[in-house]
Homo-oligomer: A and B are copies of this chain.
Amino acid sequence: MTVSAVRALFSVANRPEVVSLAGGMPNIADLPLAELGESFNQLVRGNGIQAMQYGSGQGELFMREKICEVMAEEAIAANPDDVVITCGSQQALDLVTRIFVDPGDVVLCEAPSYVGAMGTFNSYQARIHHVAMDEHGLVPQALAQAIVALRAAGQKVKFLYTIPNFNNPTGITQPLERRRELLAVAREYGLLVVEDNPYGLLTIEGDPLAAMRSMDDEVIYLGSFSKTFAPGFRVGWVLAPHAVRERLVIAQEAAVLSPPVFSQFAIANYLENFDWRGQIDTFRSMYAARRDAMLDGLASFMPPGTTWTTPNGGFFVWVTLPEGLDSQALLPRAVTERVAFVPGTAFYADGFGSRNMRLSYCFPTPERIVEGCRRLGKAITDELDMHATFGLGTDVARHRPVSGPAPNVT
């Protein structure tokens, strides 16, 4: 249901007159297309027979070696033999879930968490249990309490799924000390950690932080070229302890025989022959300008009582509406004003998030982002005015969490 709601939203948001702050598409217009085209030409002429043939279920060795170079940017020392290439990091999630989760098992996620990951967990009939966050991400004590309470209730907790850098949807980053605390909890309770890191290299200020995997070899790490190069090749990866890696390769062979081979040749060729670190710096500057535009736009146009996060990278800002407002009820009014966002409930498996919305600054230009914030501000202000006049509508009550305290997200 969440997936189809998101799809319906996209079809509206794709209209050119709508400023979409809803999607998560990277802006890849800055890639050097002419040079890439010529390099593809050379690749096909010189290595086409290999690049267009079946490949290894684990992924090609040269690609896995390059991936280890990329992961070194976040202090991970990895062996190419422990890497499995996947059809985007979405498939990494799918394979990890496939080998660990039986129907009814619990997966722990941030509150809120990535809608696409929750879709995968749901497709394997996992129960999603959210763990509270604060301004530094997952709260270690909340993690420990969740594990204890769930196990006491006889539930099988299979792993923690976390996005430590520029979390989707909140934009929140775990500082290094928080990562160590969370890993200590995981070790104490024997809990597997799955670290999803699509945005880690897209920092705005400062260098990328050391990955959780760099602090603990037992962490399963998921990476992607979708945001640092381009998503259309569908190349992601898993770095996993050896026994897990073996099971992932068997699962991968059953799922797709081998991940896209031509894509691996294309990306390895790019990493070898282009200044990929310089390209990431270009992306960082471009996204920094867009984040700034969004923060300025929000400061200018949001009515009092609205709050939001300040991400240091990635694609997303998480907005909390004034008390009494409901983001899903707001959406039709926003679309009428020609701006789109994703309602916060999409990022919870349990009905929370009705006061929240995810805004993405990755794709529209800075000018359009500011204009989108202006339209959104008008929609929220109009909604507040209506509430002041008529009181809370039934639509609002319907989307309220049914029980329990609101997760602590700022």
Interface, chain A (partner B; CB < 8 A): 3-4, 25-26, 28-29, 31, 33-34, 36-38, 40-45, 48-49, 51-55, 87-88, 90-91, 94, 98, 116, 119-120, 122-123, 226, 230-234, 250-251, 253-263, 265-266
The 4 A-B residue pairs with the shortest CB-CB distance, nearest first, are A37-B44, A232-B261, A52-B230, A52-B232
Contacts of A3 in B (CB 8 A): 250, 253-254
Closest chain B CB from A363 CB (angstroms): 10
Q: Which of B28, B41, B55, B231 contacts A232 (CB 8 A)?
A: B55
Query: Which single residue of chain B is at the shortest CB-CB distance from A91?
Result: B256
- Report yes or no: A40 in contact with B33, Cβ–Cβ below 8 A: no
CA distance A262 to B98 in the complex (A): 26
CA distance A87 to B54 in the complex (A): 12
**A48 and B36 contact, CB distance less than 8 A:** yes
The reply to whether B28 and A34 form a contact with Cβ atoms under 8 Å apart is no
In the bound assembly, the distance between CA atoms of A160 and B263 in angstroms comes to 33
Q: Are B44 and A40 in contact (CB under 8 A)?
A: yes
Determine chain A's interface SS by DSSP, over half rule.
Answer: helix
Query: In whole angstroms, what is the CA distance A262 to B51 when docked?
Result: 14
A119 to B231, Cβ gap below 8 A?
Answer: no
The answer to whether B233 and A90 touch across the interface, beta carbons within 8 angstroms, is: no
Are B87 and A120 in touch, CB under 8 angstroms?
no
Query: Which residues on the B side are within 8 Å of A226 (C-beta)?
Result: 54
With A49-B29, A53-B25, A123-B251 in contact, do A257 and B41 touch (Cβ < 8 Å)?
no
Knowing that A33-B45, A40-B44, A116-B253 are A-B contacts, what are 20 other residue pairs whose CB atoms are under 8 Å apart, sorted by A's residue number?
A: A3-B253, A28-B49, A37-B41, A37-B42, A53-B230, A53-B231, A54-B231, A87-B256, A88-B256, A88-B257, A88-B258, A90-B255, A90-B256, A94-B255, A123-B254, A123-B255, A231-B261, A234-B256, A234-B259, A260-B263
Bound Cα distance from A255 to B42, whole angstroms: 32
Contact residues in B for A4 (Cβ distance below 8 Å) = 250
Q: Is the CB of A53 within 8 A of B232?
A: yes
- The distance in angstroms between the C-alpha atoms of A226 and B262, with both chains bound, is 12
Q: Which residues of B contact A26 (CB under 8 A)?
A: 53
Kindly list chain B residues whose C-beta atoms are within 8 Å of the C-beta of A258.
Answer: 88, 234
B36, B48, B256: which contacts A33 (Cβ < 8 A)? B48
Residue in B29, B88, B253, B263 whose CB lies within 8 Å of A119: B253
Whole-angstrom distance between the Cβ of A59 and the nearest chain B Cβ: 12
Instruction: Please name all residues of chain B whose beta carbon is closer than 8 Å to the beta carbon of A266 when the two chains form the complex.
Output: 262
Contact partners of A25 in chain B: CB under 8 A:
53-54
Whole-angstrom distance from the CB of A246 to the nearest CB of chain B?
9
Shortest A300–chain B CB gap in Å is 30
Q: Which residue of B lies closest to A24 (CB)?
A: B54
- Evaluate contact between B261 and A262: CB separation under 8 angstroms: no
In the complex, the answer to whether A257 meets B90 with C-beta atoms within 8 Å is yes
Please list 19 pairs of residues, one from A and one from B, whose beta carbons are closer than 8 Å in the complex, sorted by A's number: A3-B250, A29-B49, A34-B45, A38-B41, A41-B41, A52-B230, A54-B231, A55-B232, A87-B91, A87-B260, A90-B255, A90-B256, A94-B254, A232-B260, A232-B261, A234-B257, A234-B260, A262-B263, A263-B263
Decide: B54 and A232 in contact? CB cutoff 8 A.
yes
Most buried by B among A43, A48, A98, A231: A48
**For residue A45, which residues in chain B have a CB less than 8 angstroms away from its CB?**
33-34, 37
In Å, the complex CA distance between A53 and B45 comes to: 24
* A122 to B54 alpha-carbon distance, docked (Å): 22
Which listed residue, B40, B94, B254, B262, touches A120 by the CB 8 Å rule? B254
